Structure 1
Amino acid sequence: LIQIQHYTATQAGAAFLPFVVTMFGLSRWAGGLVARYGSRLPLTVGPLVAASGIALFAVVPQNGSYWTAFFPPVVVMGLGLVISVAPLTTTVMNAVPDSESGLGSGVNNAVSRLAALLAVAAFGAVLATVFNHSLDQHLSQLALSPEIRAQVDAARPQLAAAHNPAPAVQHAITESFLSGYRTVIWIASALAVLSSLTAWLLIEPGIPSSVESDRKK
């Protein structure tokens, strides 16, 4: 959003407000999904919906407007996470005795935070690797002087924020960043699909007994 679409930091942050609104507005509804359908269905459907929203980010046009390019994937991804987050927490808490609910909550939060840190590190490495490989391929097709090539190489850590006065070089930088960006997006979408498959295979169908007893009460 900032380096390719030239949003300001404020605009880039505001672009994800529909995600926050969706999570906030539908969280209560999502909290009752386990009681109605059990854990297996929402934890299978939710990640699939989220994967669809993530995948939409990979196909947005480079110069599309926010409402047609970014708003739909933000909302779809938010809806998928709404369906997933509350049922996941409920499933984790129902998997441990009441006496160990604090431990279950702590493990759930720790895994979530650790996964986020690992994802940022791993995806950052993937993005940089694909960017550099793609940029090398693009630059090899251009007749650049050693001085210009040295300038481009020195600016590599800036990724798409690097600027070069030569239009062909700037185009190569942009396209290389988009290649890395799309690779990361497709990996993230595939991981969401994998989580859906994992839930379908590992979670027993039906409503947990603890939830069923609470509903009867």
Structure 2
Amino acid sequence: MSVVEGARVDAGAGEVPARLDGRLKLVLVVLLVAQFMLAVDFSILNVALPVIGDGLGFSLSNLQWIATSFALCAAGFTLLFGRVADLFGRRRLFLVGLAVLGLSSLAGGLANSPEMLIVARVFQGLATAAVTPAGLSLLTTSFPEGPLREKALGLNGALMSAG
């Protein structure tokens, strides 16, 4: 069947929306906001690094560990958490990851010692490693192949670059 003014399209296995309906718009907004937040979380810290270092008593030589502890965990565990999402559920891992990210961000904001901040950044990195593949997987599985998925992935790429 063909598209008729926003009607549904027959994809063989079922009907596929020709446009974003309310549910798909909500899914898209939630996933894009989460992915943008993850991208910003990594880069925004670099701006505040000197002030954070002074406030918590980091030596100049140890200041790098604030960013590195996050980056090592985020990069090192992304593939593992992608597989965990496949085994235990993408949505579940996405939501748990967001909760851990929120709690660890709060802990990092309230940190009163270098050690506490480093531990919080490690958990932020682990949460990012969980949310990133789960979110991308949810994005690709929530939208049917074709223009809707391409639009969703394009918006995701643009927001990740902006972040």
TM-score of the two chains, using structure 2 as the length reference? 0.58
Query: Structure 2: any 5+ residue segments left out of the alignment?
Result: 1-48
Change in CA separation of 1:109 and 1:10 when aligned onto 2, cut-off 3 Å: farther
Instruction: Note if 1:22 corresponds to 2:83.
Output: no
Give the aligned partner of residue 58 of structure 1. 109
SS in 2 for 1:98: coil
Q: Of the candidates 29, 39, 53, which is equivalent to residue 90 of structure 2?
A: 39
Give the aligned partner of residue 157 of structure 2. 109
Distance 2:62 2:50 in 1: 9
Change in CA separation of 1:99 and 1:53 when aligned onto 2, cut-off 3 Å: same
47-56 vs 26-35, which moves further: 26-35
Q: 1:84 is aligned with what amino acid?
A: V
Percent identity over paired residues: 15
* CA deviation map 1:36-70 (0-9, x unaligned): 12222011100111111101122212xx3x3x232
Q: Of the candidates 47, 51, 59, which is equivalent to residue 3 of structure 1?
A: 51
Give the aligned partner of residue 121 of structure 1. none
Runs of 4+ in 1 over 6 A off after TM superposition: none
In our comparison, the structure showing a higher alpha carbon Rg is 1
Q: 2:158 is aligned with what amino acid?
A: A
How many residue pairs end up in the alignment?
111
Distance 2:111 2:98 in 1: 20
Contact 2:108 2:120 in 1 (8 A): yes
Give the aligned partner of residue 82 of structure 1. 129
Q: 2:129 is aligned with what amino acid?
A: V
Give the aligned partner of residue 143 of structure 2. 96
Contact 1:53 1:74 in 2 (8 A): yes
